[in-house]
Structure 1
């Protein structure tokens, strides 16, 4: 090797290792997204791991069908047959090409709705439940408020075609999806990659419109969407190493950016966080040695490779990260002081002894009274 080539070799080695160290150094940085709004949650703990404009009201497009699908599964009889109306066949956008007067099993409509994003399937479901899209929309709003507790969304139709009064937020869609994915039937349908479709007007194989089912390890669903007013919307669930995450992106400038942003969110979650179980057996002590426990076992999400400190503040458990930020807070149940229990027990014993003593005195006095009463 010549002397001139040595500096070049050293430069190559330096660039190689420095580029790797830069990658590692930035591994915990939050993703820089092009979507206007986004959120990442851990399904099991419910903790928010990332958000961007999470409460901004925006147009959802076809991710609306998540609400329609879970409602149909929970509140309908999936074995029922639904008669297709003329109005259903005239709906715009993506369809499964239902034919007027065709009868289709409700479960089949839900599959067409969630796998192939059939707007006509959504209208047929709405008419099955409420007779009209507007009637069903009112039912949708009641459902998400009563069952899930969200307050910043308003739905005017079952499929997501544009209406200025049809809106949601990234946070609300994460909560809706978290709820829906607890249902095994829903989860199986949104995770179906392809399905044979044998309708009167269409015989084909339908393929799930959510391309990350093929392209990202661990993805289990859920739904994509697009209308020009909403941009590209995407809700995605994925599971790895015992963690289950849901990512929502709204108003991405293109389908590719929606998928790229979602992959960045999921990478961020899986690479930088892990799950921890809090047991009801563990006793927590505050500075005054008061004892506490949690009421029920629960899972919390914590940063990987960090020292997490536990503090008791008031009657709550606080988990604090290395940067001083509060990761988790949970109210605890205060336990009785063992010494107080002992005092109470001793007091009870003394009370029993006192009662026994008083009883004997009463018996003796009662005996003498009887003697006096019966004297001749």
Structure 2
């Protein structure tokens, strides 16, 4: 082997080693906020978590849940009448006037873009008659429809209440659920909107510094801010790099700048380390003596440094990153059950055909009998007429 060939091979091996080291040793994000979670927006794969299941105060991130609940339950063109209770709300407002009438969609825009607490209460009262009734119904909605279990809201705005809480993971799941609705996604991503109310006519602006461009980060497509003295700084943000969408939620930052820095660090980590791939419905996964396969082609999230797929005896496929962290789970179908179901369907189909053939046979016999009876009746009638004439 020539010296040049040996050098070339060594150089290629060195580059390959460097690439592998870089991929495998991607450092975990250093997050200042007390709790944080990074999810794939489309698959709900959990790419990073810090105290993600700890109950925290969300502040105005609550309005993400209120918005999607209102969009799904209400008629966006219906007109709400603003109550005195809505007008008297503390904190950020869109300066509604008691008795003012506005379309539900406009109230959702004022609540989500400008974080109007008065608009949030007007929405709750319009949908369910009172804040108390709204709270009961949205909690049920979040559990049964969205699928979160560690969230309990006492009001539509996020104003502090000891029994008003969520987790970073739940809040990210709620955001991902909401993002599947195009009306929500449009409002959530709005930077500026002309507002023309009874007492206030102005351009309302999102409070989210990354969405506005004040804290530059490429690919931001939506976000919501929050703050109370108890919750401290909270932030939910969604970004898209053209290949994968990510949702980051950070809770309880002391400084406003910290939540934006944490979010940027999380997005850097997610975009550089993860990608989408397809779990093909023709793929087979084996657990002991059983074989399983996906019900359909399924988008999954994979670690660029390596992903491990395992299936248990119940057909639950777990997808882990190279460090053994669970990213997501997918329920598979058993080949035996499918084959049994197919045989049952064929058997049922055969029985159905046999019954149909029997029915057709009986119908044919009945038709013959019918013809014979009609023929006999005609003979009897004809004979009767002849007999009558003779008489």
The interval holding the TM-score normalised by the smaller chain is: 0.7 to 0.9
Computed over aligned residues only, the root mean square deviation of the Cα atoms, in angstroms, reads: 2.7
Partner of 2:11: none
**2:264 corresponds to 1:260:** no
Distance 1:220 1:136, change over 3 A: same
- Counterpart CA distance in 1 for 2:130 and 2:109 is 20
- After superposition, residues 1-376 of structure 1 pair within 5 angstroms as 28-213=26-211, 214=213, 215-284=216-285, 291-304=291-304, 306-308=305-307, 310=309, 313-314=312-313, 315=315, 317=317, 319=319, 321-323=321-323, 329-335=329-335
Displacement of 1:211 in angstroms is 1.6
CA contact (8 A) 2:23 2:273 kept: no
Displacement of 1:309 in angstroms is 5.2
Q: Secondary structure at the match of 1:122?
A: helix
- Counterpart CA distance in 2 for 1:173 and 1:76 is 22
Distance 1:90 1:291, change over 3 A: closer
Q: Structure 1: which 5+ residue stretches go unaligned?
A: 1-19, 349-376
Q: How big is each residue's C-alpha offset from its partner over 1:212-234, in whole Å with a ceiling of 9 and x where there is no partner? A: 11222111112110000000000
Distance 1:90 1:28, change over 3 A: same
Give the number of aligned pairs.
319
- Counterpart CA distance in 1 for 2:226 and 2:26 is 30
- Counterpart CA distance in 1 for 2:317 and 2:165 is 37
Q: Structure 2: which 5+ residue stretches go unaligned?
A: 1-17, 348-391
By percentage of residues, which structure has more helix? 2
- Counterpart CA distance in 1 for 2:179 and 2:239 is 11
Distance 1:105 1:287, change over 3 A: closer
- Counterpart CA distance in 1 for 2:237 and 2:174 is 12
TM-score (norm 1): 0.78
Q: How big is each residue's C-alpha offset from its partner over 1:225-250, in whole Å with a ceiling of 9 and x where there is no partner? A: 00000000001111113211111100
CA contact (8 A) 2:86 2:118 kept: yes
- Counterpart CA distance in 2 for 1:227 and 1:189 is 23
TM-score (norm 2): 0.75
- Counterpart CA distance in 1 for 2:319 and 2:167 is 28
